[in-house]
Amino acid sequence: MLASRAFSLVGRRSICTSLCLRAHGHAGVVKADDFSLPAYVDRRDVPLPEVAFVRDLSAQQKALKEKEKASWTALSIDEKVELYRMKFNETYAEMNKGTNEWKTVLGGVLFFLGVSGIILIWQKHFMYGPIPHTFSEEWLSAQTKRMLDMRVNPVEGISSQWDFEKNEWKK
Amino acid sequence: MRRLLARRMKFHLFGAFFVSIGCAALYKFGVAEPRKRAYAEYYKNYDAMKDFEAMKAAGVFECAPPK
């Protein structure tokens, strides 16, 4: 629904534009913005982009373009490379080359993990109160003894690690 | 450039297949089989009454005190 509304807006604008053109007699030509024109793009799956890379050619480059219209065997290697660079920004090798961005990403991740760690340490030291009394040594050992008495997880868990005959942890 | 998608897709399809099969095999032989064996071993010579008497003596039963 939104798309159809946008389309109707565009339609109205283009109709108005063409009416204005007819009314003023080519005095009010709307300049096409750069982003609405076909663009150059370096992509693996677009081997021939819609426009050449260099848009405004210098006089020397214009002369070269004229020479290109003749036989290509007359061009030197440097001229061929120049023509290539005028048409394309990067070669496929340059385009597909990896960057070192992963180092930046990894460094940033580790840095912020470190910052979080510092914050946590500060909190434990300055902010949190004491932990519950059920974490004391006596309580924990009494708790574990009760778990063993109840034979909690006797197949693969805690009671399987205790030797009930010798009354000690299994080696 | 030629058959770019096809090549990539074939590689990734094979890869996904083998990675998933590998994960399943790893889990089966790393976790599932040992666990089944552990349970079989435990219950092979399991005496429920002996276990019950031991627990009762330890005093964990409310309705069966150790006396």
Q: Is residue B49 part of a domain?
A: yes
Q: What is the CATH number of domain A32-96?
A: 1.10.442.10
Model confidence over A92-133: pLDDT tens digits? Answer: 888 888 889 999 999 999 999 999 999 999 999 999 999 999
Q: Is residue B25 part of a domain?
A: no
Question: B59 vs A151: CB contact, 8 Å cut-off?
Answer: no
Q: Which of B38, B39, B51 lies nearest to residue A151, judging by beta carbons?
A: B51
Q: Which residue has the tokens 């580790």?
A: A110
Q: Is the pTM of this model over 0.80?
A: no
User: Comparing A5 with A122, which gets the higher pLDDT?
Assistant: A122
Q: Which residues lie closer than 8 Å to A74 by C-beta, 6 or more apart? A: A67
Q: Which of B4, B38, B54 lies nearest to residue A155, judging by beta carbons?
A: B38
Q: Is residue B5 part of a domain?
A: no
Whether pLDDT at A14 is above 60: no
Distance from CA of A88 to the nearest CA of B (A): 17
Q: Is residue B16 part of a domain?
A: no
- For residue B59, give its domain range: 31-66
Dihedral sign for Cα B13, B15, B20, B22, please.
positive
In chain A, where the domains are located = 32-96, 132-170
Question: B42 vs A146: CB contact, 8 Å cut-off?
Answer: no
How many domains, in total, are found in chain B?
A: 1
Complex ipTM tops 0.95: no
Q: Which residue of chain A is at minimal alpha-carbon distance from B60? A: A150
Distance from CA of B60 to the nearest CA of A (A): 6
Distance from CA of A46 to the nearest CA of B (A): 10
Identity of the residue numbered A57:
L
Question: B1 vs A44: CB contact, 8 Å cut-off?
Answer: yes
Q: Which residues lie closer than 8 Å to A86 by C-beta, 6 or more apart? A: A52, A53, A54, A57, A61, A64, A65
Confidence of residue A90 (pLDDT cuts 50, 70, 90): confident
Q: What is the CATH number of the domain that holds B44?
A: 4.10.93.10
Judged by a CB distance cut-off of 8 A, whether residue B46 touches chain A is no
Question: Can you give the pLDDT at residue A158?
Answer: 94
